[in-house]
Amino acid sequence: MSHDDILSEYSEVSLLKRGGQRAVYRVTAPKLGVVVLKIGEYSSPQALERIRREVAVLRGLDSPYFPKNLGFETHGANTFILLEEYVPSRPLSECLGEFTAPRRALGLAQHLVGGLDLLWQKRVVHRDVKPDNILITSDGKPKIIDLGIARLLDSESLTRTLNAVGPCTPVYAAPEQLRNRKAKIDHRTDQFNLGMIFVQLLLGGRHPFDPRVVGRGESIVANILNNLWASEVFRGLNLPGPWNRLALRLLGNEPFMRYRTTAELVAGLGACEEKQL
Amino acid sequence: MTFQIYHQLGHNYVWNLDSIRDDSTGDGVIIGPRSMERTKVEALDPEIRRAAIFDPQFFLPDVPKGKLDTYDFFPEIAADGFESDEFPETSAAVSADGCVKFQISSNFRYVTIPTRYAGGMPSDFIESQERLFVKPFLKACSDQGCKKKVILQLVLNDNMLRDEEYSADILNWATGFDAVRGIYIIAETSSLSKQVKDSDFLYNLLRFMARLRLNNLKVIVGYLNTESIVLSLADPQIVTVGAYENTRAFHIRTFQEGTGKQQGPRPRLYLSRALQWIDRGYHGAIIRRYPDGAALFDKNKYQALMFKPTFKWHFTKPELYKHHFLELSRQLRRIAAVEGRERYRYVVSLINKSMDVHKRMADVGIVLDGDNDGSHLGAWLTAANEFAQDRGWV
């Protein structure tokens, strides 16, 4: 079944994003009204299983931090569709500048932790927290999208690949993802991803591992692997101590250097709140 | 933070219990079933059990040495024997269930998840510990509605601690369990010297402990000799003292079959100002030659007994160990009363004064051998200084 065949069942179709094996549309569905329609292709039973897991996770969440799943179907031999709640929003990547004030960056981080913790409590790791996957709604609150590569820690791995890099977006990945060290991936991996966004906001939108910001290194990925981030530039912002400690913990090169529990992370964020500029 | 002193129980554990009761030398005990039958543990005063930590000693799951065979949950007993090195998973669940039940019903302070001993740096260390111990024990805790805090035992050797990547892997793993609230570390050095003289070993252990503390985990360090003084710098919750040497240094041979009866050590006395146990055979020379030598021996009721002419010195005499508990616990309590940089300064002052004592002994011609001299103190000081530099204390 072609995309056009599927889309013919909906009206007011507009393409939101196309990437990899997925296309994302805003459509009007006969009974649901305006929704997000994702059409994708899967190449193997494992890939289909991964999508089913994403659906199961989303269906198990009832939170304003995640879009609601409204349907899942397979079409033909290798096509699937996902229907999700449509929320008027912009990806954070398009409005980073609105969150660069410390108070705004902190508030966003607190919301994101609130959302991610719902996943962590279910022993799910998002693995792809990045500005493109955070939608900012009209009230300035985030919605976390795209659990396509989320990992269920208590389930058997779907793949036993020998890839050098694990599933992730490399420039927002934690070192353990870049090294494909699956055994090290847990909620603290998402903390690293979140830490990069938090520090990026405070640096005025500049990526903390960008060689141009750090002043050395060959690439963002190489700097992540070598734990070379713009810590001196960050210190130069003269934020109070708790802010520096929070950044250092979140961007710890090894998971044990980050926060062991969400309660500790929340306390770290809370300490920043008490020491606002 | 302050820390507590626990007695690592072994053979003649009654001495430890007496010392805690009579001399307030400890806040609790770590029970080792190799030396204590199940019925004796069950008969302990409930107050002692309430503060106690039970170390299941599953180090060699197929070797129920000593009194270990009185515990039906010991792996070899629970599995009714197993042929290969591999402890079957079905038995692991049975063993975990029984061991957790015992720890809860005994009302011990924590539930301890045991570990199996791994020499070297096996590639499956984490996978094996998780599959055979952590998962079955956490499941048993959950199934039994355990309300007690859970601690995880780790037996680490100097190679594991030295290798950055291996050590980080263990830390990432051990800090990854929400239900685990503390780590009970046993560190095994390959050296057979009576004191730890390996600065790298001490520094790596301090760093490992500090990383656990960063994660707000309780850190309990077992099988310690007087190096507890240095290890206190990493802010542990509990350090241990022990009587016989096999409770003051962990060596797996203690748990292996057929190690036979070994010749006992010479009787030694702990001199707190020397930070060292010194053979009885040197005492006369110290008293005669060291300026005010008699004053170097800590004065307490046990010292008074031992220095009577009729006292028969032998390594099996309880006074030697009760004296040690009293003097070391006094030192440790003073260390526990200060924190961070102040603790470092205090420990360094103890070491420096002790080095001076050893130098003055050498100056008057007292030539102590390597098990009695101050040759461990340089390593202690180096490790303490290096750790202090990491912490920004110097």
Which residues of A fall within a CB distance of 8 Å from B175? 255-256, 260
Flag whether pLDDT at A149 surpasses 70: no
State chain B's mean pLDDT as an integer. Answer: 95
- Residue B392, by phi and psi: left (phi above 0), alpha (psi -120 to 50) or beta? left
Flag whether pLDDT at A72 surpasses 70: yes
- Indicate the CATH number for domain A3-85: 3.30.200.20
| Helix, strand, coil % in chain B, rounded to nearest 5 | 50, 15, 35
Residue B260's pLDDT is: 59
- DSSP-derived pairing of the beta strands B53-54 and B28-31: parallel
Spatial distance between the Cα atoms of A149 and A147, rounded to a whole number of angstroms: 6
Residue A161's pLDDT is: 47
- A 10 A CB-CB count for B288 gives 11
Max mean pLDDT among A40-44, B128-132, B212-216 falls in B212-216
Flag whether pLDDT at A154 surpasses 60: yes
Task: Please give the CATH superfamily to which domain A89-274 belongs.
Answer: Transferase(Phosphotransferase) domain 1 (1.10.510.10)
- Of A183, A184, A260, nearest to B215 by CB-CB distance is A260
Per-residue pLDDT band at A60 (split at 50, 70, 90): confident
Domain ranges of chain A: 3-85, 89-274
Residue written as token pair 């966003």: A108
Per-residue pLDDT band at A160 (split at 50, 70, 90): very low
Beta bridge partners of residue A19, listed in sequence order: A22
Q: How does pLDDT run across B58-93, given as a tens digit for each residue?
A: 999 989 999 999 999 999 998 877 665 667 777 899
Provide mean pLDDT across the span A78-87.
91
Mapping DSSP to helix (H, G, I), strand (E, B) and coil, where does residue B22 land? helix
Spatial distance between the Cα atoms of A20 and A36, rounded to a whole number of angstroms: 17
Per-residue pLDDT band at A164 (split at 50, 70, 90): low
Provide mean pLDDT across the span A80-86.
92
State chain A's mean pLDDT as an integer. Answer: 89
Please check whether residue B380 is in contact with residue B227, taking contact to mean a CB–CB distance below 8 angstroms: yes
* Residue A205 vs residue A160, higher pLDDT: A205
Which residues of A fall within a CB distance of 8 Å from B215? 256, 260
Token duo for residue B88: 């079957």
Q: How does pLDDT run across A248-272, given as a tens digit for each residue?
A: 999 999 999 999 999 999 999 999 9
Which residues of B fall within a CB distance of 8 Å from A188? 176
- A 10 A CB-CB count for B231 gives 26
Spatial distance between the Cα atoms of B246 and B242, rounded to a whole number of angstroms: 8
Kindly give the residue spans of alpha helices, DSSP state H, lying in A30-77: 45-59
Q: In what order do the strands lie in the sheet with A79-85?
A: A11-19, A22-29, A33-41, A79-85, A69-75
Q: What percent of chain B has pLDDT over 70?
A: 97
Residue A168's pLDDT is: 73
Provide mean pLDDT across the span A153-163.
53
Flag whether pLDDT at B234 surpasses 70: yes
Spatial distance between the Cα atoms of B269 and B174, rounded to a whole number of angstroms: 38
Widest Cα–Cα separation across chain A = 58
Q: Is the ipTM of this complex over 0.85?
A: yes
Contact A183 B211 (CB under 8 A): no
Beta bridge partners of residue B8, listed in sequence order: B30, B242
Nearest CA in chain A to B212: A256
- A 10 A CB-CB count for B319 gives 19
Q: How does pLDDT run across A7-24, given as a tens digit for each residue?
A: 999 999 999 888 777 899
Mapping DSSP to helix (H, G, I), strand (E, B) and coil, where does residue A29 land? strand
Residue A158's pLDDT is: 44
Q: How does pLDDT run across B242-286, given as a tens digit for each residue?
A: 999 999 999 999 999 876 566 788 999 999 999 999 999 999 999
Contact A254 B172 (CB under 8 A): yes
Token duo for residue B95: 């063993």
Q: Distance (Å) from the C-alpha of residue A259 to the closest C-alpha of chain B?
A: 7
| Helix, strand, coil % in chain A, rounded to nearest 5 | 40, 20, 40
Residue A49's pLDDT is: 83
Residue A166's pLDDT is: 62
Backbone φ and ψ for B307, nearest 5 degrees, come out as -90, 10
Backbone φ and ψ for A94, nearest 5 degrees, come out as -95, -5
Domains along the sequence of chain B with CATH: 4-255 (3.20.20.70), 268-391 (no CATH)
Q: How does pLDDT run across B6-33, given as a tens digit for each residue?
A: 999 999 999 999 999 999 999 999 999 9
Sequence length of chain B is: 394
Residue B80's pLDDT is: 77
Active site residues of A: 128
Flag whether pLDDT at A26 surpasses 70: yes
Contact B214 A184 (CB under 8 A): no
DSSP label of B134: I
Which of B163, B175, B181 is most worth mutating to test chain A (most A CB atoms within 10 A of its CB)? B175
Spatial distance between the Cα atoms of B377 and B68, rounded to a whole number of angstroms: 37
Q: What percent of chain B has pLDDT over 90?
A: 92
Flag whether pLDDT at B241 surpasses 70: yes
Contact A256 B215 (CB under 8 A): yes
Residue A2's pLDDT is: 78
**A260 CB near a chain B CB, below 8 Å?**
yes
Flag whether pLDDT at A210 surpasses 60: yes
Provide mean pLDDT across the span A141-169.
67
Sequence length of chain A is: 277
Kindly give the residue spans of alpha helices, DSSP state H, lying in chain B: 13-23, 38-42, 46-51, 75-78, 89-105, 125-129, 135-143, 158-162, 164-174, 199-214, 228-231, 280-289, 301-306, 318-336, 340-363, 377-391
- A 10 A CB-CB count for B227 gives 25
Which of A256, A258, A259 is most worth mutating to test chain B (most B CB atoms within 10 A of its CB)? A256
Flag whether pLDDT at A223 surpasses 80: yes
Helix axis angle for A102-121 and A262-274, nearest 10°, is 170
* Residue A149 vs residue B236, higher pLDDT: B236
Cα angle for residues B350, B269, B205 (degrees, 5° grid): 50
Helix (H) or strand (E) holding A39: strand A33-41
Spatial distance between the Cα atoms of A196 and A205, rounded to a whole number of angstroms: 10
